[in-house]
Amino acid sequence: MRFSTVLKIIAALIFLILMVFFVFENLDPVTIWIPLFKGRHIGLIYIILAFYLVGITNALWIVTFIGIERKKRAKLEEIPDKDKSLFEDEA
């Protein structure tokens, strides 16, 4: 095996071990005071996961809306260019 492959395997194992420690350490229940869930005990890892998923969905929505706006702008800019090229030959 090459040295870089061995380093990648060791790095992956360390990463997996740290992730397992992170998950198991955050399984302890914590009290949250949200009006709908008043005084409930939920594992901290589930709260972290919920906020992670909310962040992903927000990022996807933002990227989607930016893409929609770019397409609209591209269509608006594309139409006048075609009209100009039609009249350039006549001049």
Q: Could you read off the pLDDT of 13-59 as tens digits, one per residue?
A: 999 999 999 888 888 888 777 777 677 778 888 888 999 999 999 99
- pTM equals 0.54
- Rg (alpha carbons) of the chain, rounded to whole number: 26
Confidence bin at 86 (pLDDT 50/70/90): low
Position 9 scores a pLDDT of 95
Based on the structure, what is the number of domains in the chain?
1
- Domain limits at 43? 3-88
Residue 79: which pLDDT band, with cuts at 50, 70 and 90? low
Using alpha carbons, select from 44, 52, 6, 53 the residue that is nearest to residue 26.
Answer: 44
For residue 84, pLDDT over 90 is answered with no
